Amino acid sequence: MGSTESNCQHYQRKCFMVSPCCNKEYGCRICHDENEGHTLNRREVEQIVCLQCKTKQKVQRNCEECGILFGRYTCLTCRLFDDVDKKQFHCEGCGICRVGGSENFYHCDICNMCIGIGIKDSHKCLADSSKQNCPVCLEYLHTSRKVLHIPQCSHVLHYECYRSMLQHGKINCPICNRSLEDMSGYWALLDKEISETPMPLIYQNYKVNVLCRDCREESLTAFHVVGLKCLKCGGYNTTRIGGDEPLPEDPLETLQETVRAINLRHQNEEGGAGEDDEFDEGSWETVTDEEEEAGESEESENEAGGDNESESMRTENETLEMEHDNNGGGCENTDTVAIEEADTSNAGSEDINHQMNS
């Protein structure tokens, strides 16, 4: 008797599949596809090999020679054998086996896929929604072994791809640009931010034309650096579409003042500005040409004075170095280099850790 271990990383079973396309033995269709340059059609497999007695035979539940069961779950339609209980079931509508228990899903004939019972009455039907590639990783969705996610726009994608998008601040569907989830809570935060940050006087009556990506309606809304609100649904998932009113005079300076005011308020809310983040209104005053020329002259004088002082210091340092060499010195310089190298090494490792954690 031989070993019943197939070394397959995807399923636990007691048989090999003989691929009709290349006449090779593999643990499963996925093992075949990972090693060959073509895809195995599972339904075309006609022969399997028992791992216990090595008998080649037609596809069946038990070995015709030794009687061993090839898998606790067996689907002869999909040529699927598995000893691990995953609550597998064969869906006639999908044409393949699914996991998770048939009692937890129902097949939507319009979407042409199995939908969770929890969203049976609330999901928006989209014809053949799973028979396409994931818009993020481009893997074919209908036969994917990964968990799928159905956003409110019904453009299906992998759940792990959906989570990755949110973690990177991407809240729009890659296909239709609608919001992936209910964003009403976030829109309320933007409403509060805008109410606490009035625009400069010349912008308070300035309006722009926007198209809402969620409700697909156009509106003429008030311009604000925080966001452009849709007047139909109240969301901020909008884009400007042109045909705006003429810009006020000197718009850049007034916008910079508003942005600085927002940053300053956030710093105060977080416990005050740091040394490098202090906001000084005086630093934004206009410098005249005469003041700039006077400043350049003063800098030139300081540089000249600094050069004389540096020359004097170099002379003193050379004298000290000569005395130090005569006394047999020089070891202290080696220690200094070693400390600098150690500091550089530590700084590099901290930077790598930061990148790995981010």
Residue-wise DSSP of 52-76: TT--EEES-SB-TTT--BS-SEEET
Q: What are phi and psi of 253, to 5 degrees?
A: -65, -40
pLDDT category, 98, cuts 50, 70, 90? very high
Average pLDDT over residues 21-47: 92
Is 309 a domain residue? no
Is 60 a domain residue? yes
User: CA–CA separation, 84 vs 198, rounded Å?
Assistant: 62
355 alpha-carbon distance from chain centroid: 15
**Domain boundary, last residue among 240, 263, 278:** 240
Domain that holds residue 59: 1-85
User: CA–CA separation, 277 vs 271, rounded Å?
Assistant: 12
Average pLDDT over residues 98-123: 92
Is 25 a domain residue? yes
**Domain boundary, last residue among 213, 240, 267:** 240
SS3 33: helix
The pLDDT of residue 188: 96
What CATH number should be reported for the domain holding residue 224?
2.20.28.10
Tokens 């849709």 correspond to 230
Contact 32, 25 (CB under 8 A): no
User: Residue 105 is inside which H or E element, if any?
Assistant: strand 105-108
Average pLDDT over residues 139-168: 94
The pLDDT of residue 299: 55
Is 205 a domain residue? yes
User: CA–CA separation, 187 vs 193, rounded Å?
Assistant: 10
Is 224 a domain residue? yes
Tokens 């699914």 correspond to 98
Tokens 């650096």 correspond to 225
**Domain boundary, last residue among 35, 54, 85:** 85
User: CA–CA separation, 209 vs 126, rounded Å?
Assistant: 31
Contact 35, 17 (CB under 8 A): no
User: Residue 337 is inside which H or E element, if any?
Assistant: helix 331-357
Pseudo-torsion of CA 193, 199, 205, 206, nearest 10°?
Answer: -90
Pseudo-torsion of CA 58, 59, 63, 68, nearest 10°?
Answer: 170
Tally of structural domains, the chain:
2
Mean predicted lDDT score pLDDT of the chain: 78
Contact 316, 310 (CB under 8 A): no
Is 37 a domain residue? yes
Average pLDDT over residues 61-69: 95
pLDDT category, 113, cuts 50, 70, 90? very high
Is 214 a domain residue? yes
In the DSSP assignment, the letter for residue 198 is P
Is 193 a domain residue? yes
Give the chain's count of helices (H) and strands (E).
Answer: 6, 15
The pLDDT of residue 229: 96
Q: Note the pLDDT tens digit of each residue in 283-340.
A: 333 344 555 555 555 555 555 454 554 444 444 444 444 444 444 443 333 332 222 3
Burial bucket for residue 250 (CB in 10 Å: 0-12, 13-18, 19+): exposed
SS3 322: helix
The pLDDT of residue 338: 27
114 alpha-carbon distance from chain centroid: 27
Average pLDDT over residues 210-214: 96
